[in-house]
Amino acid sequence: MTMSEQPSDPVPDSARHAATTRDHVRRLRGIRERAIQGDELATERQHAKGKLTARERLEHLLDDGSFTEIDLFRRRATGPDAAGPFTDGVVTGAGTVHGRRVFAYAQDFRVFGGSLGEEHAAKIHKVMDLAIAAGAPLIALNDSGGARIQEGVTALAGYGGIFRRNVRASGVIPQISIILGPCAGGAAYSPALTDFTFMVRETSHMFITGPDVIKTVTGESVTHEELGGAQVHAATSGVATFVYDDEAACLDDVRYLISLLPSNNHDLSPVCETGDPPDRRCPRLADLVPANPKIPYDIREVITEIADHGEFLEVHEHWARNLVCALARLGGRTVGILANQPVVRAGVLDIDASQKGARFVQMCDAFSIPLVTLVDVPGFLPGVDQEHQGIIRHGARLLYAYCDATVPRVQVILRKAYGGAYIVMDSRSIGADLSFAWPINEIAVMGAEAAVGVIYRKELAAADDPDRLRSQLIADYTEELMHPYYAPERGLVDDVIDPADTRVVVIRALDLLSEKRPDLMPRKHGNPPA
């Protein structure tokens, strides 16, 4: 190369390239800032409704500075030369909660009303795939007007892709849905497929067909809140697992729930140091539970006594309240607690309680969370409606869930345990690993009074003094077949314990069972009752 072919001034050319790169970086920063900030008027409208924006929600949910966004610049072209807003109405990515990795997507109602279109769905599909691949919990913050009508069937296909991934992730990673606005039509099926659904009163609305459609088809007039509000789904339909008065409290409890769950189905139940001694006795329990099986009490007070620092997270608190399901820590280990609630319908099992308990048992078993069952049950709820609506089928769901569970299972019979309900509430005969009973326990086919009425019906009818004879027969039946040591003598209860030792005994039992591993015959899947 001759001297004339050499670049005459290489320094200015390099400077021009550097300046061009800096210009692109500055432009990138500006575009990113505008994409993140969004439309100010839309933000004001969101705040005026008492709602946070998608990014504000993620900031509250995730650890400070932990969020890594994915697909910020993704958008759908709305015409030959124009393009829609960045993000396409959903913010996706990953962050941490209490230092543990989670993946999340938050629909942004400020952009296209959070409606789901092809690119919007593709972003959600991607973050769901990443969550499954990474073995990390997936959190969905729903605030959407539904399918983007302008995109036709591609929007519906987008929902199908979400549902398919919900099912693929089921029992593999925890899936949490948070409803923070409308969630209507086909969109409502995704929360129904996840493990937990959070809703906020006066803000969250979820239904398949809205008030206008119902008015047209059936003539019924109903508001959004009456049809699919948070309290309706918490107390009546059982769709909402948790319900709150504001978004901040809702998101705080999502963080708490994450701390109680493993990241995936390969991890064991989380264990942490709580500072509550595992050998702490609970002498108050003897006073909380009356010896008379007909006197009600609040089982939640019993759970408060035995749980670490009295803390537990009740699942479906407002639905099927005759059965309490809760996540708590015992000796630092997360456990699932099922307990009959004597202050609601005397703690009987019915259709709703059976459904609630079955789903909870299956969730705990899927994520290796040990089960502790506190029993004080008079039986199944009698009645024509219960029979016609399928109490046999629904009760069998709870029975199936317990029989199918391979996690450590500890049963504690506090007071009465009668009939088929005793069997279903994780008795030794269906696979409980260890069973304990308080010294006031009564385990039998039915209560002594009812049993005597059946067995000695003719004798009582012919007696000169039936009341005196009935009292004597009840005393004899109780002494012979219902005394506190009848079941232990036959190996159906492992030990009769002092109520004050309940916490200590259960924690030791869980330690003993901590290395339990399932040994199942291979099969594609079971066929549980519908």
| Beta carbons within 10 angstroms of residue 364's beta carbon | 27
Q: What pLDDT, on a 0 to 100 scale, did the predictor assign at position 81? A: 42
Distance, CA of 415 to CA of 412 (rounded, Å): 9
Where are any strands of DSSP class E within 1-131?
68-70, 90-97, 100-107
Instruction: Tell me the mean pLDDT in the region 456-484.
Output: 84
- Per-residue pLDDT for 16 more than 70? no
**Band (2; pLDDT cuts 50, 70, 90):** very low
Confidence bin at 254 (pLDDT 50/70/90): very high
80-87 contacts at long range (C-beta below 8 A, 24 or more positions apart): 84/112, 85/35, 85/38, 85/39, 85/111, 85/112, 86/31, 86/34, 86/35, 87/35, 87/111, 87/123
- Please check whether residue 328 is in contact with residue 311, taking contact to mean a CB–CB distance below 8 angstroms: yes
The 3-class secondary structure across 450-494, one letter per residue, is HHHHHHCHHHHHHCCCHHHHHHHHHHHHHHHHCCCCHHHHCCCCC
Proportion of the chain above pLDDT 70, given as a percent: 95
pLDDT of 225 strictly over 60: yes
- Provide the pLDDT for residue 482: 77
Annotated active-site residue 192? The verdict is no
Q: How confident is the model at residue 26 (pLDDT cuts 50, 70, 90)?
A: confident
Token reading at 139: 């959190």
Q: What confidence score (pLDDT) does residue 34 get?
A: 81
Taking residues 183-201, what's their average pLDDT?
A: 95
Q: Which of 7-21, 210-224, 341-355 has the lowest mean pLDDT?
A: 7-21
Average the pLDDT over 310-325 and give the result: 98
Alpha helix (H) residue ranges in 49-115: 54-61
The mean per-residue pLDDT over the stretch 381-403 comes to 96
Q: For residue 493, what are its two tokens?
A: 């209860």
Q: CA geometry: angle at 187 spanning 185 and 193, to 5°?
A: 120
- 234 catalytic per annotation: no
Q: How confident is the model at residue 327 (pLDDT cuts 50, 70, 90)?
A: very high
CB 242 within 8 Å of CB 250: yes
pLDDT of residue 380: 95
Q: What is the DSSP string of 350-419?
A: -HHHHHHHHHHHHHHHHTT--EEEEEEE--BPP-HHHHHTTHHHHHHHHHHHHHH--S-EEEEEEEEEEH
Q: How confident is the model at residue 299 (pLDDT cuts 50, 70, 90)?
A: very high
Higher pLDDT, 209 or 280: 280
With a cut of 70, say whether residue 417 has pLDDT above it.
yes
Give the mean pLDDT of 314-338: 98
Q: What is the CA radius of gyration of the chain?
A: 29
Q: Looking at residue 1, what is its pLDDT?
A: 44
Model confidence at 82, in pLDDT bands (50, 70, 90)?
low
Where would I find the beta strands (DSSP E) of 143-195?
175-179, 182-184
pLDDT exceeds 90 at position 246: yes
Tell whether the model's pLDDT for residue 7 goes beyond 70: no
What angle separates helix 448-455 from helix 466-481, to the nearest 10 degrees? 120
Element (H, E) at 328: strand 323-330
CA gap 95, 101 in Å, rounded: 6
What is the reported pLDDT for 217?
93
Residue 529 CB contacts under 8 Å (≥ 6 apart), including other chains = 393, 394, 396, 397, 400
For residues 352 and 324, give the distance between their C-alpha atoms in angstroms, rounded to a whole number: 12
Report the distance separating Cα 375 and Cα 20, nearest Å: 73
| Cα atoms in the Cβ-side hemisphere of radius 13 Å centred on 60 | 18
pLDDT at 526: 84
Domains of the chain and CATH, by start: 41-260 (3.90.226.10), 285-447+482-512 (3.90.226.10)
In this prediction, residue 187 carries a pLDDT of 92
Check 89, 93, 158, 185 and give the catalytic one. Answer: 185
420 annotated active-site = yes
The pTM score is 0.91
State the average pLDDT over residues 476-502: 90
Q: Which of 420, 453, 463, 500 is catalytic?
A: 420
Distance of CA 19 to the CA centre of its chain: 54
Q: For a pLDDT cut of 90, what percent of the chain falls above it?
A: 74
Hunting for tokens 């994915």 — which residue is that?
A: 70
Amino acid (1-letter code) at residue 194: T
At 11, the pLDDT band (50, 70, 90 cuts) reads low
Query: DSSP for 225-293?
Result: HHHHBHHHIIIII---SEEESSHHHHHHHHHHHHHHS-SSTTSPPPB---SS-TT---TTHHHHS-SST
Distances (CA, A) of 351 to 116, 253, 373: 36, 28, 18
The answer, yes or no, to whether residue 457 has pLDDT greater than 90, is: no
Whether residue 208 has pLDDT greater than 80: yes
Q: Is the pLDDT of residue 356 over 80?
A: yes
Q: Which residue has the higher pLDDT, 83 or 154?
A: 154
Which residues, 6+ apart, have CB-to-CB distance to 369 below 8 Å?
A: 261, 262, 269, 327, 334, 335, 336, 363, 407
Q: In the predicted model, is pLDDT for residue 10 greater than 80?
A: no
Mean pLDDT across 392-419: 96
Catalytic residue among 147, 230, 421, 432: 421
Backbone phi, then psi, for 283, in 5-degree steps?
-65, -20
Please pick, among 186, 210, 332, 419, the residue that the annotation labels catalytic.
186
Place of tokens 């005969």: 429
pLDDT score of 454: 85
Provide mean pLDDT across the span 396-411: 97
Does the annotation count 185 as an active-site position? yes
Q: 296-332 in b/e burial notation, b at 16+ Cβ within 10 A?
A: ebebbebbbbbbbeebbbbbbbbbbbbbbbbbbbbbe
Q: Can you name the residues that pair with 271 across neighbouring β-strands?
A: 333
- Residue 80: pLDDT over 50: no
- Please state, rounded to an integer, the average pLDDT across all residues of the chain: 92
